[in-house]
């Protein structure tokens, strides 16, 4: 839970700045590991028609996995975030978060979790030119080499074989 008291919102923006521990259940089962607390800094504003805006930043350090070589890859997240909450239960706008109507407390936790996931790039690489793992034997080609042929060679080999068959 990341409750924010919205009772005073009529009188002006509410400052919502928190530090959430990396082991908070909110961050269970992410694709990456948090190596530091999640720092939120922002303000919640009330807008018309049961809408709320939260504008601020989400910052933390994570340990992600390189998509090519699977090595642990540290990343810093510092994302500017603009969240829209609505009390309209029937909205079909996927970019807004639906909250209960006339609630005194707004729970930001689900939105923060989602924004954190979006803030990390989808295709993490340990370095731009990571060579990845050999698809046949699994050798890390950044540090080692192997005798496996690249897939294109294998295709050629298959072609050669079928050719010789035809000739027989
Ligand atoms: Zn890599
Ligand atoms: Zn190999």
* Centre of ligand 1 from the C-alpha of residue 77, in Å: 19
Percent of the chain predicted with pLDDT > 90: 61
* Residue 48 confidence class, pLDDT cut points 50, 70, 90: confident
Is it the case that residue 42 has pLDDT exceeding 60? yes
| Maximum distance among all Cα pairs of the chain, rounded to whole angstroms | 89
Report residue 80 CA to chain centroid gap.
14
Ligand located closest to 123 CA:
1
Is it the case that residue 24 has pLDDT exceeding 90? yes
Q: pLDDT (tens digit, 9 = 90+) per residue, 88-103?
A: 999 999 889 998 888 7
Contacts (Cβ under 8 Å, ≥6 apart) of 71 = 65, 126, 140
* Centre of ligand 2 from the C-alpha of residue 105, in Å: 56
* Centre of ligand 2 from the C-alpha of residue 75, in Å: 29
- Residue 76: Cβ within 10 Å count: 10
Mean pLDDT, the chain, rounded, equals 87
Contacts (Cβ under 8 Å, ≥6 apart) of 91 = 98
Burial class (CB in 10 A: 0-12, 13-18, 19+), 116: buried
Cα separation, 117 vs 127, in Å, equals: 20
**What does the pLDDT read at residue 100?**
86
Considering Cα of 149, then 150, then 156, then 162, what sign does the dihedral take? positive
Is it the case that residue 165 has pLDDT exceeding 70? no
Phi-psi label, residue 155: left if phi above 0, alpha if psi -120 to 50, beta otherwise: alpha
Cα separation, 63 vs 72, in Å, equals: 6
Is it the case that residue 30 has pLDDT exceeding 80? yes
**Statement: the pTM of the whole predicted model exceeds 0.85:** no
* Residue 112 confidence class, pLDDT cut points 50, 70, 90: very high
Cα separation, 14 vs 56, in Å, equals: 12
* Centre of ligand 2 from the C-alpha of residue 141, in Å: 8
Q: pLDDT (tens digit, 9 = 90+) per residue, 127-146?
A: 999 999 999 999 999 999 99
Two tokens, residue 79: 């994302």
* Centre of ligand 1 from the C-alpha of residue 64, in Å: 11
Q: Count the alpha carbons within 13 Å of 163 in the hemisphere toward its beta carbon.
A: 6
* Residue 155 confidence class, pLDDT cut points 50, 70, 90: low
């Amino acid at each position: 839970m990341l409750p924010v008291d919205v009772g005073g919102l009529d009188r002006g923006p509410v400052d919502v700045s928190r530090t959430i521990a990396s082991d908070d259940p909110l961050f269970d089962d992410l694709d990456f590991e948090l190596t530091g607390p999640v720092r939120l800094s922002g303000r919640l504003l009330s807008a018309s028609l049961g809408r709320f805006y939260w504008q601020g930043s989400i910052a933390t350090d994570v340990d992600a996995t390189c998509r090519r070589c699977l090595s642990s890859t540290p990343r810093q997240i510092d994302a500017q975030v603009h969240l829209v909450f609505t009390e309209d239960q029937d909205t079909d706008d996927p970019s807004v978060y639906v909250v209960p109507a006339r609630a005194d407390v707004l729970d930001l936790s689900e939105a923060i979790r989602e924004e954190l996931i979006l803030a990390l790039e989808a295709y993490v690489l340990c370095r731009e030119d990571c060579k990845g793992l050999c698809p046949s034997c699994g050798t890390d080609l950044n540090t080692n080499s192997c005798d496996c042929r690249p897939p294109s060679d294998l295709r050629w080999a298959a072609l050669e074989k079928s050719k010789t068959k035809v000739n027989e």
